[in-house]
Amino acid sequence: MSEEPTTDAAADGGQQDGGQTVVRRDRFSGGPARGFLSSMDADDRIFEADLAVDRSHAVMLAEQGIVPEDDIGAILVALDDVEEAGFDALPAGEDVHEAIESAVIERVGPAGGKMHTARSRNDEVATCIRYRLREDLLDAVEAVNLLRETLLAVADEHTETVMPGYTHLQPAQPTTVAHYLCSYEGQLSRDAARLLDAYARTNESPLGAAAFAGTPFDVDRERTAELLGFDGVVENSMDASSARDFLYEGVAALAGVATTLSGLAEDLVVFSNKGLVELDDDYASTSSIMPQKKNPDTMELVRSVAGDAAGGLQGLLTTLKGLPRAYNRDLQNATTHAWETVDAVVEATEVAAGAVGTAHWPEEALADAAGEGFSTATGVADLLAMHGVPFRTAHEVVAQAAKAAERTSGETASDAGEADYEALDAAAREHLGESLDEAVGEDAVKAALDPAHSVAMRDSRGGPAPEAAEATLASATEDLEHDRTLVGDARDALAAAEDELAAEVADYV
């Protein structure tokens, strides 16, 4: 790529480039590194944001008497036209900011160059990223909320569906499908809160910071912040144009969501393998050679997005690490990590919601599996402890019985119920000096050995007993409603600002 010839047009702010007017090309045309310098490939994402930033800045310049109203009117008309023509029609430029400015100058003439008075691309791009990212963060919260709603709806149907609960992937204690699903809903509610926290700190305006050092013009930073729907301004101008902590906060929150999803996805892969859940055909895939296969591919891909998100966070932090103040061009490459991460995580969250909402939980297979591996043993130990046996002694009784009955995994409760009782009774006689019947009553022990009864006994707050699960469902539903209100309020505020900006612009065009 050869360096472009300069022309006279450069003298008044523009220059011809293959028939198109461009700005700032008199000396630094980019030459062979032009493509390398350019962020145009990624900037489509902030095209609308940049137009909004340009409009609010222009309105403020007119209101403050910094640029005459006539010029601002012409600039605002041009911006409408640029928007109409679309991103792909933009003239060449190092980035979308430069390209839009060129497009405005093309339409308005040299006075179009007044749009860039009292600002820099540094505060401009920081404002655009925040403007766009806040929408993306709200999309992410909505996707998470959809998954929460789905988990709660399915849980509501399965408060009495007994299933095995695992620790170390070994059968541990019976629980219910509702209790299991609500465990992920709880984690996702905190993921949503983290995204909303990130939203609050993203939603502050850097505009008016200029390159980093402020500006001698009498800009009204609160006014542009208001017109763009920001909750306030980033105070220090060097902080405003260079800091990207809002990016890593958002990406970290997204990586948290992806990590939560990966656990849920892994469970569903394992449960599919054990025949404890069946994904709908829409969320499964088959083999190109083994036609009988139904594979949980969607869940495997959801699981993998945690890798993408962690990679995005790592890439972002590594890019930011050690950057000196103030603006450095590295920041241009930091941004793409955020876009890639938010896209991957939102898509995975929506797919997870679809898969959870359509999966089938086979109640019989779940109930059988719930008794595997002497999984009700802890309930028997609890029963002994309720009758005054020190828990540690009760633990020994049950451990000895489990060993004697060789019930570490595999068999179902119905296979082994009687044998389990016998083994427990023998252990009780040895450790307690009395029969199990004398210690707590045969019926009570046999009930405790039954998975459904075992679940019903565990009615502590947040536990799996159906009434405890109902309470969890009720409060989780309330929390979800609350979070949805927060998102709705945020969306409304952004829409109101958009309307206000459009109304102000209408006064000039």
Return the number of the residue (15 or 39) whose C-beta is nearest ligand ARG. 39
* Binding of ligand ARG by 327 (CB under 6 A): yes
Return the number of the residue (329 or 360) whose C-beta is nearest ligand ARG. 329
Structure tokens belonging to residue 374: 């002497």
Report how far Cα 217 is from the mean position of its chain's Cα atoms. 40
- For residues 496 and 475, give the distance between their C-alpha atoms in angstroms, rounded to a whole number: 31
**With CB under 6 A, what is the number of residues at the site for ligand ARG?**
10
Output the smallest distance, CB 118 to ligand ARG, in A: 16
Q: Work out which of 331, 394, 398, 480 binds ligand ARG, going by CB under 6 A.
A: 331
Output the smallest distance, CB 119 to ligand ARG, in A: 11
Cβ atoms 189, 36 nearer than 8 A: no
Residues 97, 183, 287, 360: which is the catalytic one?
287
Return the number of the residue (320 or 427) whose C-beta is nearest ligand ARG. 320
Q: Report which residue type is found at 487.
A: V
Taking each helix axis as running N to C, give the angle between helix 121-157 and helix 330-358, from 0 to 180 degrees, rounded to the nearest 10.
10
What stretches of 116-230 show up as alpha helix (H) in DSSP?
121-157, 177-202, 221-227
Q: What is the CA radius of gyration of the chain?
A: 31
Return the number of the residue (39 or 205) whose C-beta is nearest ligand ARG. 39
* Binding of ligand ARG by 15 (CB under 6 A): no
Question: Does the annotation count 158 as an active-site position?
Answer: no
Residues 38, 57, 116, 168: which is the catalytic one?
168
The residues, ordered by sequence, that sit 6+ positions from 262 with a Cβ below 8 Å of its Cβ are 302, 303, 304, 305, 306
Return the number of the residue (332 or 454) whose C-beta is nearest ligand ARG. 332
- Name residues contacting ligand ARG, limited to 123-162 (CB under 6 A): 125
Q: How many beta carbons lie within 10 A of that of residue 274, not counting itself? A: 12
Question: What is the helix (H) or strand (E) element at residue 20, kind and residue range?
Answer: strand 20-22
Is cis: bond before 326, omega within 30 of 0? yes
Q: Which of 1-9, 138-146, 264-272, 328-336 is the region at the interface with ligand ARG (rule: CB under 6 A)? A: 328-336
Determine phi and psi for 456, rounding to 5 degrees.
-60, -30
| Site track for ligand ARG across 233-272, x = CB under 6 A | ----------------------------------------
Q: Which of 254-262, 330-338, 368-376, 394-402 is the region at the interface with ligand ARG (rule: CB under 6 A)? A: 330-338
- For residues 254 and 305, give the distance between their C-alpha atoms in angstroms, rounded to a whole number: 10
For the chain, first and last CA: distance in Å?
40
Q: Work out which of 95, 226, 267, 504 binds ligand ARG, going by CB under 6 A.
A: 95
Question: What is the helix (H) or strand (E) element at residue 166, kind and residue range?
Answer: strand 162-167
* Binding of ligand ARG by 29 (CB under 6 A): no
Output the smallest distance, CB 345 to ligand ARG, in A: 22
38 three-state secondary structure = coil
Output the smallest distance, CB 350 to ligand ARG, in A: 28
- Name residues contacting ligand ARG, limited to 332-371 (CB under 6 A): 332, 335
Q: Work out which of 24, 121, 158, 407 binds ligand ARG, going by CB under 6 A.
A: 121
Cβ atoms 333, 319 nearer than 8 A: yes
* Binding of ligand ARG by 39 (CB under 6 A): yes
Question: Does the annotation count 116 as an active-site position?
Answer: no
Return the number of the residue (41 or 84) whose C-beta is nearest ligand ARG. 41
Cβ atoms 49, 478 nearer than 8 A: no
Return the number of the residue (325 or 403) whose C-beta is nearest ligand ARG. 325
Cβ atoms 334, 320 nearer than 8 A: yes
Determine phi and psi for 167, rounding to 5 degrees.
-130, 145
Q: Which of 178-186, 315-323, 325-333, 452-460 is the region at the interface with ligand ARG (rule: CB under 6 A)? A: 325-333
Return the number of the residue (127 or 349) whose C-beta is nearest ligand ARG. 127
Q: Interface with ligand ARG by CB under 6 A: which residues?
A: 39, 95, 121-122, 125, 327, 329, 331-332, 335
Write out the catalytic residue numbers.
168, 287
